[in-house]
Amino acid sequence: MKNIRNDKNEESGQSTVEFTLMLGILLFLLFLIFQAGVTYMTTQYIKYAAYMGARTYAVRNEEAGRFVIKGYLGARGGKLAPFIRPIEGKEFIEKIETQSKKEIGFRINYKSLFYFPFIGQGVASTGNEKLEEIEGNGFLNLNVKSVMKNESFNCGENDASRKKFDNRTGREDGC
């Protein structure tokens, strides 16, 4: 009987090792892309909440603007709780006002989770928020600012230029 040698046995397991190496790299990239997307989406949502709060503050008052932001984000970011947290020692919603009060708005201070898989923490900037510091737990201290021109004013009875005709109701409205 002949002794038949099988050359395949010398390379058995090679494809398993290659697959395992590539799977780790692909999972890292997949989680990184997912995390970057979640961070970007969260930041855009917070920017929109700050914008709407500043807009409301500009035409009504500060309390109404804060109410709008809390409606979007919750009292201290509770509606986005898995992704953001308030920064200890800082107000979650800060009022911004120039000395002349021509520009008013809000700054929202928060921690955003940005976690590199297998590494633990990372650095990211997704817009006009300011990177303050990186903590060891993977949260970045960020803030989003939105400022508008102040549109609120006291309208007197003799100030006809500020009165507007409302087509929906059919009457003149003051301020």
For 132-142, write each residue's pLDDT tens digit. Answer: 444 445 567 77
Angle at 88 between CA 145 and CA 62, to 5 degrees: 40
Does pTM top 0.75 for this prediction?
no
The size of the chain, in residues, is 175
Q: How far apart are the first and last CA of the chain?
A: 106
| 103: in domain | yes
Burial of 136 (0-12, 13-18, 19+ CB in 10 A): exposed
| 53: in domain | yes
| 56: in domain | yes
Q: 91, 117 in Cβ contact below 8 A?
A: no
Quickly state the pLDDT bin for 171 (edges 50, 70, 90): low
Give per-residue pLDDT as tens, 49-79: 999 999 998 888 899 999 999 999 988 888 8
| 16: in domain | no
| 121: in domain | yes
| 91: in domain | yes
Per the structure, the count of domains in the chain is 1
pLDDT of 50: 92
Residue 33's domain comprises: 22-151
